[in-house]
C-alpha cells in the first residue's frame, strides 16, 4: 500500500496543535518538526505502508492556476508570491526536509506544482491501494473505490482519522462518489479564493451534479439551451458564470501528470544517513520522537 502525505497540511496542523514552548536546546521552536515526526510514526504503525511519500509544495500558488483565476489564494499572500507562514514555522520546514532525507523517507515537490498535484499524479500512477493523509477536502476528488484510493482526513486528528471513500462523499455531499471536483467548482471554496457560481450553494451544486452526472455534461446542457433538469433560477446563474466555469476546472482539479521524479518510494526499515540523523537529533532535541519513529519503521 502507498501512503501519500499532504505534508504541508500535516506540519501546519502540528504547528498549531503543539505549543511553541517545545524547542531545540538553543531555544528554537521545533513543535512542527516533532509533531510531524510523531504523526508519521502513528501513521506507519497504524497503516503499515509498503511505500511512503511526504509530498511537498514546490509552488504553493502555481502560475497556471493564477492565470485561470487571479484570486486563487490571494488572501494568503504575504508579499510578492510568498505564502503567509508564521515566523516560527518557516525555519522549521527545512529542518523537516533534512530529517526526512536522513531517514530515507521519499520527500519531494515538483517545480510549478502543489503538493496536491504530486499526490494526484502518484495516486494515478500507483498500481495498488493508495491512502492519502490530508486535512484538505480538495483531495476527496481522488477517492476511487475500484483502485482503491481513499483519503484519511485529519479533521479529528491523526489518531482518529476520518476514512473518506466514495460512500462517504455521497453521504456527506449528496453527489456521486467521484464527482467532488465538479461539485467544488460550482460551490466554490473561499479558503482557496475560488468564488464558485454566485447564487449556487452546496445543495443546488449537489443537485446539479447528481442530475447531470458531471460538470462537462452540465455545461453541454447549458450551452444547448435546454431548461430541462435545472432548478428554478439556476440556469440563469450558471449562464452568467460561464466564463468562470470555462477556466475553474483547471484550478480545482489536481494534476495527474506532474513530472514526478523516478525514485524509490519504499518505506525505509532503517535510516539512510544515521550519522546525519544523530546530528539533527542532537541539534534540535529530537531524540524521543525519532526513536519512536525508528522503532515503528523497524517493526513493520
Query: pLDDT tens-digit profile of 39-50?
Result: 999 999 999 999
Taking the domains of the chain in order of start, what are their residue ranges?
Answer: 2-174+255-299, 180-252
- Homologous superfamily (CATH) of 2-174+255-299 is 5'-nuclease (3.40.50.1010)
CB atoms closer than 10 angstroms to residue 97: 16
Average pLDDT, integer, range 119-134? 97
User: Which CATH number applies to 180-252?
Assistant: 1.10.150.20
* Partners of residue 132 on adjacent β-strands: 4, 151
Dist. CA 231–CA 238, nearest whole Å? 11
- C-alpha of 93 from chain center: 17
For the chain, give the number of residues. 300
**Predicted local distance difference test score (pLDDT) of residue 199:** 94
**Model pLDDT for residues 45-69, shown as the tens digit of each residue:** 999 999 999 999 999 899 999 999 9
Dist. CA 4–CA 116, nearest whole Å? 10
**Model pLDDT for residues 249-278, shown as the tens digit of each residue:** 999 999 999 999 999 999 999 999 999 999
Please enumerate in sequence order all residues whose Cβ is within 8 A of that of 33, keeping only pairs 6 or more positions apart, or say none: 11, 14, 92, 95, 96, 99, 284, 286
Dist. CA 297–CA 37, nearest whole Å? 12
**Model pLDDT for residues 5-25, shown as the tens digit of each residue:** 999 999 999 999 999 999 999
Is pLDDT of 115 > 90? Answer: yes
Of the chain, the percentage scoring pLDDT greater than 90 comes to 89
**Model pLDDT for residues 135-166, shown as the tens digit of each residue:** 999 999 999 999 999 999 999 999 999 999 99
Average predicted confidence (pLDDT) for the chain? 95
Name the pTM for this structure. Answer: 0.95
Amino acid at each position: 500500500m502507498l501512503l501519500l502525505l499532504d505534508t504541508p497540511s500535516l506540519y501546519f496542523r502540528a504547528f498549531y496543535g503543539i505549543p511553541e514552548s517545545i524547542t531545540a536546546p538553543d531555544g528554537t521552536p521545533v513543535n512542527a518538526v516533532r509533531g510531524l515526526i510523531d504523526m508519521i510514526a502513528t501513521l506507519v504503525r497504524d497503516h503499515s505502508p509498503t511505500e511512503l511519500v511526504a509530498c511537498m509544495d514546490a509552488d504553493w500558488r502555481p502560475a497556471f492556476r493564477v492565470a485561470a483565476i487571479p484570486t486563487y489564494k490571494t488572501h494568503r499572500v504575504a508579499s510578492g508570491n510568498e505564502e503567509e507562514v508564521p515566523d516560527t514555522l518557516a525555519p522549521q520546514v527545512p529542518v523537516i526536509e533534512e530529517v526526512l532525507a536522513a531517514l530515507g523517507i521519499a520527500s519531494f515537490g515538483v517545480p510549478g506544482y502543489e503538493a496536491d498535484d504530486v499526490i494526484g499524479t502518484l495516486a494515478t500512477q500507483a498500481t495498488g491501494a493508495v491512502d492519502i493523509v490530508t486535512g484538505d477536502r480538495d483531495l476527496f476528488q481522488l477517492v476511487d473505490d475500484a483502485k482503491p484510493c481513499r483519503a484519511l482526513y485529519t479533521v479529528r486528528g491523526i489518531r482518529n482519522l476520518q476514512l473518506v471513500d466514495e460512500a462517504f462523499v455521497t453521504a456527506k455531499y449528496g453527489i456521486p462518489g467521484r464527482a467532488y471536483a465538479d461539485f467544488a467548482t460550482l460551490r466554490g471554496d473561499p479558503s482557496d479564493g475560488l468564488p464558485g457560481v454566485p447564487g449556487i450553494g452546496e445543495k443546488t451544486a449537489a443537485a446539479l451534479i447528481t442530475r447531470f452526472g458531471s460538470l462537462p455534461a452540465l455545461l453541454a446542457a447549458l450551452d444547448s439551451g435546454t431548461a430541462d433538469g435545472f432548478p428554478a433560477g439556476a440556469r440563469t446563474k450558471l449562464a452568467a458564470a460561464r466564463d468562470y466555469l470555462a477556466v475553474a476546472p483547471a484550478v480545482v482539479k489536481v494534476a495527474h501528470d506532474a513530472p514526478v521524479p523516478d525514485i524509490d518510494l519504499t518505506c525505509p526499515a532503517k535510516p539512510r544517513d544515521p550519522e546525519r540523523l544523530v546530528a539533527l537529533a542532537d541539534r534540535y532535541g529530537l531524540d524521543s520522537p525519532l526513536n519512536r519513529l525508528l522503532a515503528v519503521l523497524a517493526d513493520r
